[in-house]
Amino acid sequence: MSECYLILATGHPRYLEMARNLAASLRVMDGTRRICIVLDGAGTLQGGDHALFDDVARLEDDARYPGFMKKIQLYGLTPYQHSMFVDADCLLVKRDAERYWAEARTVPFAITGGRSTSGDWKGADVAALLRQEGAPYLVQMNSGVFCFDQSPQAR
């Protein structure tokens, strides 16, 4: 079973610097999985980076996916059966990643969050937003870490 960590480092060079730190922490705390760095056209790896990153994927610039929306494109870029995306500004500080991978293997897509029907979220009245959109609930989530497989259900 092939599994990898995906790290997105596009735009400003600071994201590649942060990605290096994340990759180093992954190597120390979970040396069993591969690490794939996702770069845009401007991203360039240096000599020592090849010890941190096993694979490099290139993300084409697409105006439909600005900023954090680039994460939506990761499904088509990963060369692995199971992928865990982790924001570049994170670090793995415990040796317990396997418990998260074990849970992630049980579903096609996993993200931290939950359903919300009321309250305030990022300055918006959730109930009013739901009425406006005719939606039964809003999924409040943190897209800093999510897992997916290559199944049609994950897409």
- Look up the CATH number of the domain holding residue 102: 3.90.550.10
Residue 47 belongs to some domain of the structure: yes
Residues contacting residue 91 through CB under 8 Å, at least 6 positions apart: 21, 22, 25
Residue 78 belongs to some domain of the structure: yes
90-136 pLDDT tens trace: 999 999 999 999 999 999 999 989 999 999 988 999 999 999 999 99
Residue 74's closest CA among 58, 50, 97?
Answer: 58
Residue 133 belongs to some domain of the structure: no
Residue 58 belongs to some domain of the structure: yes
Residue 1 has pLDDT above 80, yes or no: no
Question: What's the structural domain count of the chain?
Answer: 1
What are the structure tokens assigned to 38, written together? 């996702």
State if pTM tops 0.95: no
2-28 pLDDT tens trace: 999 999 999 899 999 999 999 999 999
29-76 pLDDT tens trace: 999 999 999 998 878 899 999 999 999 999 988 888 888 888 888 988
Residue 65 belongs to some domain of the structure: yes
Find the helix or strand (DSSP H, E) in which 104 lies. Answer: helix 97-104
Residue 91 belongs to some domain of the structure: yes
Task: Write out the residue range of the structural domain in which residue 92 sits.
Answer: 3-111+143-149
131-153 pLDDT tens trace: 999 999 998 988 899 999 999 99
Strands 124-125 and 138-149: unpaired
Residue 52 belongs to some domain of the structure: yes
77 band by pLDDT with thresholds 50, 70 and 90: confident
**Integer Cα distance of 16 and 80 in angstroms:** 21
Residue 40 belongs to some domain of the structure: yes
Residue type, 155: R
